[in-house]
Amino acid sequence: MSLSVVILAAGKGTRMKSQVPKVLHKLAHKPLLEHVYDTAIQLGAEQVVVVYGHGGEDVKEACAHFKADWVEQEEQLGTGHAVMQALPVLNLDNEILVLYGDVPLTSVNTLSNLLNLNNDELSLLTVILDEPTGYGRIIRNESGKVISIVEQKDANQDQLAICEVNTGILSCNGHKLQRLLNQIDNNNSQSEYYLTDIFKLAAGQGIPINTSNTENKYEVEGINDRLQLAKLERIHQKNIAEKLMQSGVSIADPSRLDIRGDVEIENDVFIDVNVILQGKVKLGSGTIIGANSIISDSDIAANVKIKPNCIIENVTVHSNCEIGPFARLRPETILSEGAKVGNFVEVKKSNIGKGSKINHLSYIGDTEMGEDVNVGAGTITCNYDGANKHKTIIGDKVFIGSDTQLVAPVIIAEGATIGAGATITKDVEADKLVISRAPQKSINGWKRPEKNK
C-alpha cells in the first residue's frame, strides 16, 4: 500500500526564545523539519503533507524545495485538529503516517517496523520511560491490548504510574483515520482535539491496535528548547561518527568531529580533532585531515594530506596533494595530482597543474597553472583592477621567484624564470629569464644618522 506522511509543524516553539520558527532551527546544519521530511522520502512516501502554523510563511519559504502539500492550521486546537486540517488534501486510499516536525531523529528502521505491523489498521509507536511525566500514558486491558491513551493532565494516580508512553507517531488506513477523527471532541482538561482520542474510539469499535516500541529514546524525543537541540545534535553526531568508524574510517575523537551534510568517506581516512565537514564532501582512501580544518562541498581524492587549520570550500583535490597548514582554498579551485599548497597560501578559482608547488605566503586567483611550476614565497596574482577580474596563465615548468607580482591579464609561457621581486605587467616568452627590479647600488661614504644629543 502507498504511504502518505503528515508532518505536524504548527507548534510555536515559545521555549526556543527565537524569532525563527522552531522547526527551522538546525540540527547538523539542516532544519529540524527537513530531517523529518527526508525520513518521509526515504520511507518511500508517495505524498507528504506539512501542517504549519499561523504566520508560518517563513517555514514554507525555507522549505520551498520540498515536494509536499502545505496546509495551514490557523489556530492550534490540538494534535487531532492538526491532522484534521490535512484530511482534505490527503490521499485517503493510502496508509497515513503521522510524524512531528520537531522530532528529528526517528530512524527509517524504527518507522519501517511500525509500518510493517499492519497495512489497514491502527498502529502506534510507544516508548518506555523511567520518567514519563508530561507524556500521554498507554492504557492496556488484561490481555495487553491498547484500549486508550490518557494525557498527563487527564490521568489519575494509577494511570500516572504507567511508564509506557505515547510517542505521538502512529499510522492508520486513511479512510479509518478520517472516520475516527470525525468522532473526536475537545471535552478534556485542555479543551483540545486530542489525536490520541482515536485509540479509545478504535478500541470501542473493534479496530485492532498494534504497537511497536523503540529502545532508542532519542528517536522519539522532541525539541522544545535549545538545550534539547544541543543534546540531540551530540547524539546525532555520535551516531554518524560510529557508522564511519565501523566502515573503516579513523576518527581521533568522535566527540570532536562535526558532520553537517552528506559525506562519502572511504576507508583508512584519518580525521584529527575539531574537524567540520559541511555539505557534500568526499574523502578518498588514505587521506588525512589535520586538526581544526573545515571542509565544505569538496571532492578530495585518495592519499591527500591536509595539515592542520585549513579552510577548503567547493574545491576538487586530486590524489597525493599536500595542503596546509593554514591554507585557504576557495571555490572553483582544482589541484591536480601531487600539487602542493603550503602555509598561508590562498587559492581562488584556479587550476593548479600536476606536481606544481605554491609553498608559502601567496595569493593565486583566476589562474591557469601548468605542471611542475614552482611559485616562490610571497607571490601575488594581481587579478583585480578595481572593476574587473583578469586571468593569469602560467605554463609548465615555470619558476617564479619570491615576492613577485603578476599583474593580470598576463601570460607566463612555459619554462620561463621570473627573478625574485619582479612586477610582471607584460607577457613573458617561453624559457626566458625576466627580472624587473632597480639595479643594486652601493653608496660610498654614507653614514647612518645619529640621535641629536
Touching ligand UD1, residues 167-196 (CB under 6 A): 167-168, 194-196
Applying CB under 6 A, among 3, 36, 82, 306 the residue interacting with ligand UD1 is 82
Rounded to a whole number of angstroms, the minimum distance from the CB of residue 166 to ligand UD1 is: 4
Cβ proximity to ligand UD1: between 73 and 383 the closer is 73
Secondary structure of 297-308 in HEC code, one letter for each residue: CCEECCCCEECC
Applying CB under 6 A, among 21, 31, 56, 78 the residue interacting with ligand UD1 is 78
Q: Is 25 in the site for ligand UD1 (CB under 6 A)?
A: no
State the catalytic residues.
360
Total residues in contact with ligand UD1, by rule CB under 6 A: 26
Cβ proximity to ligand UD1: between 32 and 281 the closer is 32
Rounded to a whole number of angstroms, the minimum distance from the CB of residue 222 to ligand UD1 is: 5
Rounded to a whole number of angstroms, the minimum distance from the CB of residue 132 to ligand UD1 is: 9
Catalogue the E-assigned strands of 174-244.
209-213
Rounded to a whole number of angstroms, the minimum distance from the CB of residue 188 to ligand UD1 is: 8
Applying CB under 6 A, among 37, 135, 199, 218 the residue interacting with ligand UD1 is 135
Cell of 331: 571555490
Only segment of 163-171, 178-186, 200-208, 409-417 that touches ligand UD1 (CB under 6 A):
163-171
Rounded to a whole number of angstroms, the minimum distance from the CB of residue 110 to ligand UD1 is: 15
How many CA within 13 A on the CB side of residue 371?
Answer: 4
Q: What share of the chain is helix, strand, coil (3-state, %, to 5)?
A: 20, 35, 45
Which residue in the block uniquely carries the three cell numbers 597553472? 369
How many CA within 13 A on the CB side of residue 117?
Answer: 23
| Nearest Cα residue to 27 out of 229, 242, 240 | 229
Cβ proximity to ligand UD1: between 27 and 377 the closer is 27
Give the angle 158-162-168 at the CA atoms, nearest 5°.
125
One character per residue 86-125, x = contact with ligand UD1 (rule: CB under 6 A): --------------xxx-----------------------
Neighbours of 351 (CB within 10 A): 18
Rounded to a whole number of angstroms, the minimum distance from the CB of residue 28 to ligand UD1 is: 19
194-200-202-205 Cα dihedral, nearest 10 degrees: -140
Cβ proximity to ligand UD1: between 100 and 363 the closer is 100
Report how far apart, in Å, the C-alpha atoms of 195 and of each of 26, 47, 169, 201 are.
27, 20, 10, 11
Which residue in the block uniquely carries the three cell numbers 568526499? 282
404 and 377 in contact (C-beta within 8 Å)?
Answer: no
Touching ligand UD1, residues 205-224 (CB under 6 A): 222
Cβ proximity to ligand UD1: between 104 and 376 the closer is 104
DSSP code of residue 144: S
Rounded to a whole number of angstroms, the minimum distance from the CB of residue 9 to ligand UD1 is: 6
Cβ proximity to ligand UD1: between 137 and 176 the closer is 137
Cell of 39: 525520513
Only segment of 88-96, 109-117, 164-172, 390-398 that touches ligand UD1 (CB under 6 A):
164-172
| Contacts of 376 by beta carbon, 8 Å cutoff, 6+ apart | 360, 399, 400, 401, 402, 403, 404, 420
Binding footprint of ligand UD1 on the chain (CB under 6 A): 8, 10-11, 51, 73, 76-79, 81-82, 100-102, 135-136, 149, 151, 165-168, 194-196, 222
